[in-house]
Amino acid sequence: MPANTVPATPVPATPVPAAAVPPAPLLDPAAAPAVPSLAAAQRRSAELEAAIQADPARFRVLTGDRPTGPLHIGHLFGTLLNRVRLQDLGVDVMVLIADYQTITDRDSPQTLPADVLGLVADYLAAGLDPDRCTIFTHSQIAPLNQLMLPFLSLVSVAELSRNPTVKDEAAAAGPMSALMFTYPVHQAADILFCHANLVPVGKDQLPHVEGTRVIARRFNERYAPGRPYFPVPDALLSHAPLLLGVDGRKMSKSRDNAIALGAGEDETARLIRGARTDAERTISYQPEQRPEVSNLVQIAALCLDQSPAEVAERVGGGGAAALKRLVTEALNERLRPVRARRREVAADPEYLRQVLAAGNGRAEGIADRTLAGVRRLMHTVY
Ligand code: TRP
């Protein structure tokens, strides 16, 4: 391809037309489009699901995780299996290990290599196939990170201050780094460097995708009028239930309440034996009234591919002890092949490094082409 042509967008624009949004004047926060309502996002996701089934090759997905520790069953049922589903349908899935997003919250960088390779092992164990998807890290893709500069010019400080993640961080104790403040812009570079048009998210993350949509639109309006260079990506809402940890709070790597994919069967049994329940003997599925018991019912339901109501019915008057036995058995059974695969790949760190090196190489090639296109559109080719 000659250096002075804009590379073809690898993924065509989203087949389902997005709702018409009037162009926002650059840096006029009052004109920025509002985050769509949850109902609108759900409708849109249903349309997208239909479009994916009809023509998966038109979609490129960008998704990722911070390498902060081993992934757990909340990740498996919440996001990993959905990525595998999209991969198996024939969607081009890019999986980012967001190591530059751990700089701010990491005391000791020494554990980073092990955490990164652990994530690769978790991905492969869940069923991501390195021949059909791309696993890569921020820090190795220089041209991706270079997109951050032009993107920073497209948003105002006031807009960033209103981003929910940034707001949460600002409300937390301690000073916020400038890097943390600009995470939403970095995330736009993550998504747009590969012209991804689909970003699977939970509903709490819709504003992140909206920030990327704003940046894509503004770049197109300013530098590529009439011939959009970046796709305006869509959020694909997940249907997955949020799992609670064994203490009844949100399952989280940092709270010591999670069942890791790599945990052994005995450890799983021990964690579930210690899980919080309540005093009522008959098991039912009532997430609002009985969050802890319902969470265990939900885990068994996901593993057994049954509805939570069916599982609750099955345990009935057996009480918490019978429920815990069922959950332990179902979970260990469901995770057995995942764990076997994890043990196999984790025993071969050289293979994990090769998978990552191949993914980084592919991502870098894509990022190089995008940066060349951006330079040309911005008239910074000399
Ligand atoms: N912020 C995400 C997390 O906390 C990781 C991430 C970084 C990401 N860049 C992204 C996710 C782009 C989706 C799209 O896990």
Supply the residue whose CA is at minimum distance from atom 15 of ligand 1. Answer: 65
Which of 91-95, 135-139, 170-174, 335-339 is predicted least confidently?
Answer: 170-174
Cβ atoms of residues 3 and 372 within 8 Å:
yes
Could you read off the pLDDT of 341-351 as tens digits, one per residue?
999 999 999 99
Ligand 1 centroid to Cα of residue 66, in Å, is: 7
Q: Which residue type sits at 262?
A: G
Cβ(320)–Cβ(293) below 8 Å: yes
pLDDT at 21 (0 to 100): 45
pTM listed for this prediction: 0.90
Residue 247 to residue 358: CA distance in whole angstroms? 40
In the predicted model, is pLDDT for residue 1 greater than 60? no
Distance from the alpha carbon of residue 219 to the mean position of ligand 1, in angstroms: 21
Mean pLDDT over 208-220 rounds to: 95
375 Cα to the center of ligand 1, angstroms? 25
Q: What is the per-residue DSSP string for 53-114?
A: HH-GGG-EEEEEE--SS--BHHHIIIIIHHHHHHHHHT-EEEEEE-GGGSSTT-S-GGGHHH
- Residue 322 makes CB contacts below 8 A (sequence gap 6+) with 283, 315
Rounded CA-CA distance 233/189 in Å is 12
In the block, tokens 């997003």 appear at 101
**Most confident region among 15-19, 106-110, 281-285 by mean pLDDT:** 281-285
SS3 381: coil
User: For residue 138, is pLDDT > 60?
Assistant: yes
Centre of ligand 1 from the C-alpha of residue 37, in Å = 21
**What's the gap in Å between 343 CA and the centre of ligand 1?**
26
* CA-closest residue to ligand 1 atom 12: 187
pLDDT at site 35: 66
**Distance (Å, rounded) from C-alpha 159 to C-alpha 236?**
23
Cβ within 8 Å of residue 37, ≥6 positions away: none
Close Cβ partners of 172 (under 8 Å, ≥ 6 residues apart): none
pLDDT at 239: 81
Position 183, amino acid: Y
Q: For residue range 10-55, what is the model confidence (pLDDT) as tens digits?
A: 444 444 444 444 444 455 545 555 667 888 888 999 999 999 999 9
Instruction: State yes or no: pLDDT of 323 exceeds 50.
Output: yes
- pLDDT value for 169: 82
Share of the chain above pLDDT 70, in %: 90
Taking residues 171-176, report their average pLDDT: 84
In angstroms, the CA 53 to CA 30 distance is 37
Q: How far apart are CA 152 and CA 357, in angstroms?
A: 29
Position 14 scores a pLDDT of 46
Residue nearest to atom 9 of ligand 1 (CA): 187
Per-position DSSP letters for 138-198, written without gaps between them: GGG-HHHHHTHHHHHTTS-HHHHHH-HHHHHHHHSSSPPPHHHHTHHHHHHHHHHTTT--E
Nearest CA, atom 5, ligand 1:
65
Average of pLDDT values for 361-376?
A: 98
Instruction: Output phi, psi for 88, to 5 deg.
Output: -70, -25
Per-residue pLDDT reduced to its tens digit, 291-322: 999 999 999 999 999 999 999 999 999 999 99
Q: What's the pLDDT at 208? A: 84
Question: At 134, which helix (H) or strand (E)?
Answer: strand 133-137
Which residue's CA lies nearest to atom 10 of ligand 1?
187
pLDDT for res 106 = 67
